[in-house]
Structure 1
Amino acid sequence: MALLEALLMLLPVAWSCPPQKADYVMVSCFPNAIIANVPECPYGWEIEQLSLGGVCYTGIHSSGFYRFIIPDLTPKNHSYCGTQSEYMPGKDPKYVFYNSIVSNDTTLTIRNQPVNYTFSCMYRAAYLVNNAVFSQRVATVYVNNGSLGTFRSQLSMNVFTNSKFLYAKDAPYIIDTSEIGSEVFIGVEAKGLSSRFKVVINNCWATPTPYSTDRKRWSLIINSCPSDHTVTIFENAKDSRSMFKFNSFRFQRLEKVSTVWLHCEVHICDGERLVCLPSPCSVRSLSGETEPSGGILTAEFQVKGTGQHVARTHRVYSNSTVSNC
């Protein structure tokens, strides 16, 4: 009798939330995280009775749902809360991350229907930002991930104060004519990506107009290589930010033009599955011409001042063939 009374005392606890029949899970596939939501109290289960991968009891309440988050998509020797990944090779290689939300009750009897919400996110092995042309130094990119939705990543190109790349200058960037030839430090960064994704600068060039296709151009980076000794690439395709510097200039015989536009063609590469680092520049050619295959970021430089100066003469290269990751 005492045992029966004890079991009856447990009933209000087991059914403290209104049971819902929940035969679906809503999944958001982001580049650095996966978020899975199920209606709260599925079949009468409390949030502390549901686990991610049967390992982690990390669910939280969120507007009528139980939410479970996988914040790490770079498993090496172990997986986050039972998350598994599978690589799918082929002409368009993909990888799939999958996990499940399962019920677990340590009481003597189970009065609720067991639940097992299996979900997955499929991603392309290389996220090429190849269908976007941006007219600003900051661009928000929606990339189709091959699953039920898209993820959003913000790409930005900024001018920094020095080679430490700690502090970005305010836009618009103004260069006095007396400072022509001074060093300009550029950083291209992607936010909202996990560490497996790398920012790759393919090509950078300058034009006297806002149009990246202007035939009057001075190339800075061609096929991920410096165009000449005035350009230095500090990092490229190693992290979520790539950095380089060049000597400031203005276009010769265009005295009335007071603005220079810098354009950089970039793409995002999955370093977990692909080789993102370009081959050494010594084994690649700077010649050739092709249409850009990545998204283009543009920064505007205003040249001001009345001082006289001698414009530098630079060799001009055309845009070159790009090897995508």
Structure 2
Amino acid sequence: VAPADQIPCGNDSISRQECERKGCCYELGGQASSCFYGLSGAVECTKDGHVLIVLTKKMTVPPLDLDSVHLLDEGPNCKPVNKTESFILFKIPFGTCGTTSRVAGSYVLYENEIIADRNIIRGPSGSITRDSTLRIHIQCRYMGRDSLPLNVQVFTLAPPLPVTEPGPLHLELRISKGESYGAYYHVSEYPVVKNLREPVFLEVRLLNRTDPSIVLMLDDCWATPTPNPLDKLMWKILVDGCPYTEDNYRTRLQNVDASGLKFPFHYKRFIVKTFAFVDSATEQPFKGQVYFHCSALVCHPSASEPCTMKCATVGSRRQRSVDLQMLEQQSRQAIVTSEGPVIFKENLENTIRIYPFSGAAAFVMILALCTVGIAVICKVKRQNQ
């Protein structure tokens, strides 16, 4: 530690043994010795009810911006008591600057946190930061009313959860047997007969993923008379993740019951009233099939992108985040198709049948690396089975 950066550790008469016991550096000088904090920093709970915290900018990579470091309470009496180019020292009396206390058995615990703010650069299509993340939780433990601290514990921020994993991303659109979404139709159970206007319980889910920090977001959902999701004849079901407002039997979004699901944010559910396509010239129902399709994206929550959708009530406008609007403009190709089509049978008045479809699941390939705080958009590659 350069002489200009040395912050004294203890008083002038401290012995070498005591200096090193505190985790500090001891140096013999020409006329006097010195004890100062080293490059690893230090935390000390004192007998007179203070906690000393020494941080160094080299605690993180890239180096920490010491001007960004502060306590939870940023009051005027909670500023650093000493600062050099490489070190910063806080001395916090218990009961001030956001310090909390609690009793745990025969112990009294005093706790506080130190945070480093990050400089976030915001642009027209996203936000970035190049600063390190620092969040330190400090705990001093005392035995009852004894003023002697037993120990000090420092809890650093855990590494962030992974945003993505390498490999294919699998989506599935399936039909539930009821509103509870407790059982689903299998290929052997088709055809399923439904009267017109009866509900069809649809679910889109993310398969084979164990990352709890990602959120499945629906973009658009629609129906076509063929397996081709780009068929010119189509009917909208969801637009921007919200029910299509021009439908007199509006699609109903369902909350996903987290019970029994390990990753509930990997699911989206909605209910469609059964319908059949009609020939615009003859006004007669088509005898063909109706397929359901959905485009989807995967989002990672952040301060600027909560990965939530607020659908408008009648007469008001839908709220959609800027980041998700940008992603939607970039790509609409993350598409998954239902397991089976709807068939309007001529010999069954006002009924439809649902048959299996060979492309039971669509496969989505991640084509770009994803970073924390930025939503992930994925493109689809159909694989016939």
Greater relative contact order (Cα 8 A, min sep 6): structure 1 or 2?
1
The TM-score bracket by the shorter chain reads 0.3 to 0.5
Q: TM-score scaled to structure 2, two decimals? A: 0.39
Q: TM-score scaled to structure 1, two decimals? A: 0.46
